[in-house]
Structure 1
Amino acid sequence: MSRNTDSLADMADDIRPHEVDEDLEDLALDEDYALNPDFVSNVADALDRGDAERLRELLSALHPADIADLMGFLSADAREELVPHLDPETLSEILSELDSEIREDVLEHVPSATLARAIGEMDSDDAADVVDDLEDDKRAQVLAAMPEMERAAIESTLSYGEETAGRLMQREVVAAPQFWTVGQAIDHFRSGGEELPELFFDIYVVDPAYKPVGAVPVSHLLRSGRQVPLAQIMEPVNEIAIDLDQEEVAYIFDKYHLISAPVVDVGGRLVGQITVDDIVGVIQEEGEEDILALAGVSDAGRDAGVVGIVRSRIPWLMINMVTAAVAASVIGAFQDEIAKLVVLAALYPIVASLGGNAGTQTLAVAVRALANRELSSFNAVRTVLREMGVGLINGAALAAITGTVIFLMFHDLRLTLVFGLALIINLFMASLAGAVVPLVLERSGRDPAVSSSIFVTFVTDFTGFFAFLGLASLILL
């Protein structure tokens, strides 16, 4: 790629999404808000030609989140061309939106001084995430270039465990003593407006020990008279312990329909807040992890290498190979029966396949119920019995339908009976395994989304082969 750093650097202050060309804005995004491939190609061409004016026009049509998405489509070389020409303010808005793998690549090409300024523009939670992605040497340089208070706040946030409330929270909060009136609170917040969080929904009412005793939604504050005490209009709060897992935090937000919540340390003192925009990201992240875990894979990312992907997937494939070999051994045990009646070889895969699909259906429902706290020891027996009933009914229905087809094809009532019974048995076992396996794994402290599918598939394959070929040897041969 050609480099025209000087000319592009002159345009750095102009690369902000405020001067929007409506035609370019229409070109940039499809109706589903995804980036238009033609628009991405135009950006890549502008970078290749070193056309700073065209690059400014294209990027001005994008929201920072769309610029972050754009970087995911660009090659590493193209990102290297683009990054140095983003001003710190725009860079601060983009970094928090980038996928972690791409962000690590981008951070390598940002000078430490520029990065320190960009991080200073970010909320404390986003700033800590970015600093955590830096290599040790560069992290030290960036922190050294930051003001002491900002550096101390980030270092304190990084001291908490990953995926905990301490990492998720932002330290910027709005608090007021319980003896204040509405008027006193409003006057105080207006006089110190620059120090307020960029976005907040509640004013936390605290006692002299700085422990939250309630919260006043901003909407209630604005509707109340100036002389009304905050203690009179405050509402109870759901406090979040600083070491609580982020998945538990998301569950609390969802259950109680929260917009924000105070975070407290081990002594119960207010140390930060978590807002709903952070929880949306957690819910999406946890949902993606569960979906990928059901397939036994991890998020490869758009820039992931072949070796890394292979390492993440091959262990589960090897386990699956072992379970498949055990299930296939059943076929070997009945090879003489299959040789005598070749039609068995054409039918037993159908029984196993239908059982596998039924098991997957039940498994998906069970894992979702566990994740949403809808399935516990209290209703586990009832749930398992329900799924067993569903398996029997589905098995009987499919046996009637497919059995009719088999009878019309082979005109053999005993073969039809064998197939139908095997199908009922396998769908029953599939539903049983799909409900019980994730419960057992969850009870043993394992993630039921990670390995349940392998064990359920083993049960349906083994049962399908054994039931069909075993019944065939008893009834047909």
Structure 2
Amino acid sequence: MNNTDSATLSRIKNDDAVIEDHAALDEDYVLTATFVEKVVDAADDGDGLRLRSLLEDLHPADVADLMGFLTSEHRGVVVLWLPPELLAETLPELDDGIREEVLERVPHLTLAEALQELDSDDAAAVVEDLEDDQRERVLAAMPETDRAAIESSLGYDEDSAGRLMQREVMAAPQFWTVGDTIDHVRGQTDDLPELFFDIYVVDPLNRPVGGVPISWLLRAKRDVKLSELMEPINEIAVDTDQEEVAYIFEKYHLISAPVIDTAGRLVGQITVDDIVNIIQEENREDILRLAGVSDEGRDGSVRDIVRSRIPWLVINLGTAVAASMVIGIFRREIETLVALAVLMPIVASIGGNAGTQALTVAVRSLAARELTAANALRIVRREVIVGLTNGVTIAILLAGIAAIWFGKPLLSLVIGIAVVVNLFAASLAGTLIPLALDKLDRDPAVSSPVFVSWITDTVGFFVFLGLAAMVLI
């Protein structure tokens, strides 16, 4: 083999190694165990150049996902070898707990440089997680303009539109033409958002009066005025809650929206990529709250997890004791007819599942604003009919099973009636309790499950054992 062939073969092997190193994702866009092991090995060896080679072509979201698979020690090594631009784009993608830990490892000058690469909303979200002394050092190391934008964002309430918005926005006066606007965009690239979808048309007081989608702008002739192209826009006040913002975006199918201050002046914009995160966050919170837990993340400590879960377990213990007291009232009847002890958990279990179904639908409908005072009566009536229909169906099946199992027709009748009554109660409780809590400005996803479970257990036990005491004993 000549020298040329050897060099070619060596280059091919090196190219294959690079391809192998960067085959980080499987077909489901999940980081492969092999890739994570390579990162861990490079971190253990302190091989920074190899780490940079492995990570530089990853998407920031995949780097953030990788951080979740690594130990605290390995994260501390990896973060020091991330290129500044990749570090900047990765920080907003990290889980809150991991981001706080990573930020402690990054030198303040490096962090100040990285934050300048971000839009003001993402930069503010990162700075918010810094300790007070570190925040002061990082902000002091940033240019005045960037620092002022971040401090202004942090001045708004958490979870408000003001905190969510980015201050970089493309605005133009009404008298500008399409040509004026395009020339401005081309000449002011450093002062414009990295990504924007609409040109906001403003009056002399900087109040938005309309918007022009970029696609319309590019199709129009240069001498057409923006006032002739613009369409009405949905303005969002700076103090609007982020959940309300997400609802507006979802209802009106928005890609972006201008944010205005109390005087109606344009102060920023919110784009759909931020809203996707908010919708996912709110949905995740509702699902977790239905189970009485919080989002501990992959690095949640045992103490924090126990602290978040134990209060609702204690409340559930109280409701369970209350339901058991109902059973205690009928202990003589249970001793007389053992079949009651065998069958009563079935009645309570079916009622609990039916209540959970109605509750889940009600909580989701409240969150989506599909369940309001205007249609509450119709929704409750529908759920009651569903509960009774399901109750009759299950009652027939369970009565048949009880008749075959114990050979007592009256027992079958009792358990059938108990199931119908309990599913009726479950459908009512699963719908009315979330409505009542929402009316009282309480989160129905947090409190409803415990109360619905208590009602279905209590009603199920009381009706079944009470009827048995009257009819069978």
TM (norm. structure 1) is: 0.94
Structure-1 residue corresponding to 2:5: none
User: Counterparts in 2 of 1:444-463, with a 5 A limit?
Assistant: 444-463=440-459
Partner AA of 1:229 in structure 2: K
Partner residue of 2:170 out of 174, 177, 193: 174
Partner AA of 1:253 in structure 2: F
Asked if residue 308 in structure 1 is aligned to residue 294 in structure 2, the reply is no
Structure-2 residue corresponding to 1:333: 329
**1:77: how far off?**
0.5
**1:271: how far off?**
0.1
- Secondary structure at the aligned position of 2:26 is classed as coil
Cα contact 2:55–2:82 (8 A) shared by 1: no
Structure-2 residue corresponding to 1:235: 231
- Matches of 1:91 and 1:61 in 2, distance apart? 12
User: Counterparts in 2 of 1:369-384, with a 5 A limit?
Assistant: 369-384=365-380
Shift >3 Å, 4+ stretches: 19-26
Partner residue of 1:471 out of 444, 467, 471: 467
Partner AA of 1:342 in structure 2: V
Structure-1 residue corresponding to 2:51: 55
**1:63: how far off?**
1.0
Partner AA of 1:68 in structure 2: A
**C-alpha deviations, 1:71-128, integer Å up to 9, x for none?**
0110000001111122321110110110110000000000111111111111000000
- Matches of 2:117 and 2:453 in 1, distance apart? 50
- Matches of 1:181 and 1:55 in 2, distance apart? 50
Asked if residue 438 in structure 1 is aligned to residue 439 in structure 2, the reply is no
Cα contact 1:21–1:60 (8 A) shared by 2: no
Structure-2 residue corresponding to 1:98: 94
Partner AA of 1:286 in structure 2: E
Structure-1 residue corresponding to 2:112: 116
Identity rate of aligned residues, in percent? 63
**1:29: how far off?**
1.1
Structure-2 residue corresponding to 1:260: 256
Structure-2 residue corresponding to 1:347: 343
**1:58: how far off?**
2.0
Partner residue of 1:130 out of 126, 133, 147: 126
- Secondary structure at the aligned position of 1:108 is classed as helix
Structure-2 residue corresponding to 1:400: 396
**C-alpha deviations, 1:426-445, integer Å up to 9, x for none?**
01100110000000000011
- Matches of 2:134 and 2:22 in 1, distance apart? 36
- Matches of 2:148 and 2:57 in 1, distance apart? 37
Corresponding pairs, count: 458
Partner residue of 1:419 out of 415, 420, 441: 415
**C-alpha deviations, 1:18-73, integer Å up to 9, x for none?**
x99444443x1122211112221221111112233432332134211101110011
User: Counterparts in 2 of 1:220-299, with a 5 A limit?
Assistant: 220-299=216-295
Superposition CA RMSD, Å: 1.2
Cα contact 1:21–1:61 (8 A) shared by 2: no
**1:154: how far off?**
0.7
Cα contact 2:51–2:81 (8 A) shared by 1: no
- Matches of 2:34 and 2:356 in 1, distance apart? 39
**C-alpha deviations, 1:271-310, integer Å up to 9, x for none?**
0000000000000000100001111111111111111111
Cα contact 1:24–1:61 (8 A) shared by 2: no
**C-alpha deviations, 1:240-284, integer Å up to 9, x for none?**
000000000000000000000000000000000000000000000
Partner AA of 1:216 in structure 2: V
Partner residue of 2:64 out of 64, 68, 73: 68
- Secondary structure at the aligned position of 1:273 is classed as strand
Cα contact 2:108–2:137 (8 A) shared by 1: yes
- Matches of 1:240 and 1:144 in 2, distance apart? 31
Partner residue of 1:156 out of 152, 155, 165: 152
5+ residue gaps in structure 1?
1-18
5+ residue gaps in structure 2?
1-15
Cα contact 2:419–2:460 (8 A) shared by 1: yes
Structure-2 residue corresponding to 1:202: 198
